[in-house]
Structure 1
Amino acid sequence: MSFSSLGLSESLLKVIQQQNYTKPFPIQAQAIPVALQGRDVLGIAQTGSGKTMSFVLPILELLRKASPSRNRHVGALVLVPTRELAIQVEEVVRLFSAALSERIKSLAVYGGVSINPQMIKMQGVEILVATPGRLLDLVSSNAVSLSEVRMLVLDEADKMLNLGFRDEMADIFKLLPEKRQNLLFSATLSKEVLNLNEILLYDPVVVKVEAQEQNLDNITQLAYYVTPERKGPLLRYLIDQENMEQVLIFVSETMRADAVVVKLRQNGIKAVALHGKLSQGARTRALADFKEGRITALVATDLASRGIDIEYLPYVINYELPRSPKDYIHRIGRTGRAEAPGTAISLVCEEDRHHFKVIQKKMGRWVNFTYTDDINLQGF
């Protein structure tokens, strides 16, 4: 199946081709045609399965044919659980809306930053991507009205429920018009999501894509046995010797991320940290600089890394191992995407060896160890 068979306009198909998307993911192939018919959709698919385009493309297609909403009355509302996801979804909206002859303005709004600039930018917005709490703040400030919403999307609904947004979501639903299209996407079909489905959706088409194991075939996995005092120099040695121009480095905590960045910079390597204690502006700049290649190394904690989605990332380094095998696979799965090769490197100390053995056993793959005692790290 190709994107051209889904019912999308030529302008959107052109952007899809320019972005080197050759064929739709299963969730896209099943959800897009149904959404274009105006039907409600309940989509169940794991994170990273292509859900965002499954609702962004139908929203743009349907809104471009509709008359514009009144000022500060949005036509499409996308609710998400985190500010990182809000930014990421809105970036996808802007990417595809730029190709349309009809001007469709979008905006991402979220907490943790000043509300005033967001209030000002609400002028003329047709597609609003929002976290629930900040959206209600904007509504109470009369910065936006939800009375003309034609399409409502709940992305990662299970996470919104788990993160305690139930009451805020209920308040938002009361502000929406009864007649609208609803698209609900979730990684799991929990009891809470089913209850939400019964309240929210009208005769929905259920699209369920079974979770697939991470394909690790394109990823070369390496492990280096190192003493704790030589770990930092070894990291810098590897970046230098492998001529790494873009590398995502994982650490276990915020303080470690900052400390690693300091040492990298002292040794002439452009690096920034990404963790929860940074301001939203700093996190956004760090991600943008890394994606655009303005820095070499992004040093991230697992929580902060959830918004990182780079199609061609050549290197991932586990400076510290994650707690679980699942997180390990999530980390190294940031490379080796889009059928491009990638390299995942783990720095393993003596106290880590048993844990790393458990990770390998759960993963079903064994990683060759390189001992580093004979590597001259002087100067690194």
Structure 2
Amino acid sequence: MSFSSLGLSAPLLHAIKDQGYTAPYPIQQEAIPAVLKGRDILGIAQTGSGKTASFALPILEMFQKKAAGRNRYVRALVLVPTRELAVQIEEVFKNFGKELARHVKSLAVYGGVSINPQMMKLSGTDVLVATPGRLLDLIESKAVQLSEVEVLVLDEADKILNLGFQEEVNKILALLPNRRQNLLFSATLSGDVDNLIAELLTDPLKITIKEEASVPDLIKQVAYQVSPEKKGPLLRYIIRQSDMQQVLVFVSSKRTADNVAGKLYKHGIDAAAFHGDKSQGGRTEALKLFKAGKLRVLVATDLASRGIDIKFLPYVVNYELPRSPKDYVHRIGRTGRAEASGEAISLITPEDAHHFKIIQKKMGKRVEVLPTDEIDLQGQ
């Protein structure tokens, strides 16, 4: 199936081609035509399944046929759990909407930064991508109105609720018009999400994209046995030995992220930490530089990594293993995307050995664990 069969106009098809997409993902094949027909959608899909384009493309298409709305009365609202995801989704809208005859203005708003610049940029916005708390701040300041919203998108609804935004979401829903199209996407279903589905959706098209039981074959996996005190030198050795220029390193805590990034930088490897305690400006700049290939290493915690989606990321390193096999697959799935190969490397201490065996068993794939005793780590 091709994008041209989904009901999208020539300018959007051209933008899709420019972005390097050749064929739609399964969720896009089902969702795009249904959204264009005005149906509600329930999409059960993991991060990386292509769901952002499955709602961004049809919203852009539909808004081409509509005149611009009243100033500060947004027409489409996308609610998300994190700042990084808000920025990422707005970027998708902007990239796909570059060549459209009618400019569809999108804006991402989120906490952690000054509200005033966001208030000023709201003028003329068609599509607002927002975290719940900051959206309520803007509503309270009378900077934005929701009474003319035609399309509501809840992306990663389970995370929105897990992060404690239930009350904020309820307040926002109460301000929306009754007649609107609702698109809800979630990685999992739970009691809270089920309640939201029952409240929001009318005869929805349910699309379920099953989670990969194993990682894509395009991802080469390798692991190294190492003592805890030699992890840092080994990481630096691997980066230098393979001349890695874009590496996403996963750690378990904010403190470790700072320590690892600091030592990499101290030893001449350009690196930055990426976690929730960093300022929004710092996180945005680090991610921008990393995506552009101007920052060699990004050291991230799992929660912060939710908004990191890089099409051709070549390397992922598990400096510390995640708690669950599911999180391991999610981590290394950041590489090997868009039909490009990638490499996932894990550093395994003696204490990690049993847990790593469980991870391999769950994902149904054996990973070669290499010794490091013979590697000279002096000077690393």
Aligned to 2:240: 240
**Shift in alpha-carbon separation, 1:351–1:158, aligned structure 2, 3 A:** closer
In structure 1, distance between residues paired with 2:109 and 2:196: 23
1:352 deviation in Å? 1.9
SS in structure 2 of the partner of residue 207 of structure 1: strand
SS in structure 1 of the partner of residue 144 of structure 2: coil
Judge conservation of contact 2:213–2:363 (CA < 8 Å) in 1: no
In structure 2, distance between residues paired with 1:101 and 1:165: 37
Instruction: Name whichever of 93-102 and 223-232 sits farther off.
Output: 223-232
In structure 1, distance between residues paired with 2:274 and 2:192: 32
User: 1:22 corresponds to which letter in structure 2?
Assistant: T
Instruction: Name whichever of 292-301 and 261-270 sits farther off.
Output: 261-270
Aligned to 2:184: 184
Judge conservation of contact 2:71–2:124 (CA < 8 Å) in 1: yes
Aligned to 1:272: 272
Aligned to 1:326: 326
Judge conservation of contact 2:15–2:98 (CA < 8 Å) in 1: no
In structure 2, distance between residues paired with 1:290 and 1:311: 12
In structure 1, distance between residues paired with 2:238 and 2:271: 15
User: 2:169 corresponds to which letter in structure 1?
Assistant: M
1:68 deviation in Å? 0.7
User: 1:328 corresponds to which letter in structure 2?
Assistant: Y
Equivalent residues in 2 for 1:1-380 (5 A)? 1-380=1-380
After superposition, what is the alpha-carbon deviation per residue over 1:214-251, rounded to whole angstroms, capped at 9, x for unaligned? Answer: 43311211111122222211111111110111111111
User: 1:106 corresponds to which letter in structure 2?
Assistant: S
Percentage of pairs with the same residue = 64
SS in structure 1 of the partner of residue 77 of structure 2: strand
**Shift in alpha-carbon separation, 1:11–1:256, aligned structure 2, 3 A:** same
**Shift in alpha-carbon separation, 1:276–1:202, aligned structure 2, 3 A:** same
User: Could you list the runs of 5+ residues in structure 1 that have no partner in the other structure?
Assistant: none
In structure 2, distance between residues paired with 1:45 and 1:376: 44
SS in structure 2 of the partner of residue 159 of structure 1: helix
After superposition, what is the alpha-carbon deviation per residue over 1:84-123, rounded to whole angstroms, capped at 9, x for unaligned? Answer: 2111111111111112121111111111222111111111
1:377 deviation in Å? 1.5
1:178 deviation in Å? 2.1
Judge conservation of contact 1:317–1:344 (CA < 8 Å) in 2: yes
In structure 2, distance between residues paired with 1:215 and 1:306: 18
Judge conservation of contact 2:215–2:363 (CA < 8 Å) in 1: no
In structure 2, distance between residues paired with 1:149 and 1:213: 38
In structure 2, distance between residues paired with 1:177 and 1:165: 20
Judge conservation of contact 1:218–1:339 (CA < 8 Å) in 2: yes
Judge conservation of contact 1:214–1:333 (CA < 8 Å) in 2: no
**Shift in alpha-carbon separation, 1:191–1:258, aligned structure 2, 3 A:** closer
SS in structure 2 of the partner of residue 179 of structure 1: coil
TM-score, length of structure 2 as denominator length:
0.96
After superposition, what is the alpha-carbon deviation per residue over 1:127-181, rounded to whole angstroms, capped at 9, x for unaligned? Answer: 1001112111111101001111111111122222232222222221221122222
In structure 1, distance between residues paired with 2:24 and 2:120: 37
Instruction: Name whichever of 141-150 and 205-214 sits farther off.
Output: 205-214
User: 1:336 corresponds to which letter in structure 2?
Assistant: G
In structure 1, distance between residues paired with 2:140 and 2:35: 31
CA RMSD of aligned residues (A): 1.5
User: Could you list the runs of 5+ residues in structure 2 that have no partner in the other structure?
Assistant: none
In structure 1, distance between residues paired with 2:358 and 2:185: 33
User: 2:60 corresponds to which letter in structure 1?
Assistant: L
Figure out how many residues of one structure are paired with residues of the other and give that number. 380
User: 2:295 corresponds to which letter in structure 1?
Assistant: I
TM-score, length of structure 1 as denominator length:
0.96
1:270 deviation in Å? 0.8
User: 2:238 corresponds to which letter in structure 1?
Assistant: L
After superposition, what is the alpha-carbon deviation per residue over 1:256-301, rounded to whole angstroms, capped at 9, x for unaligned? Answer: 1111112211221111111111011111111111000001111111
Instruction: Name whichever of 335-344 and 284-293 sits farther off.
Output: 335-344
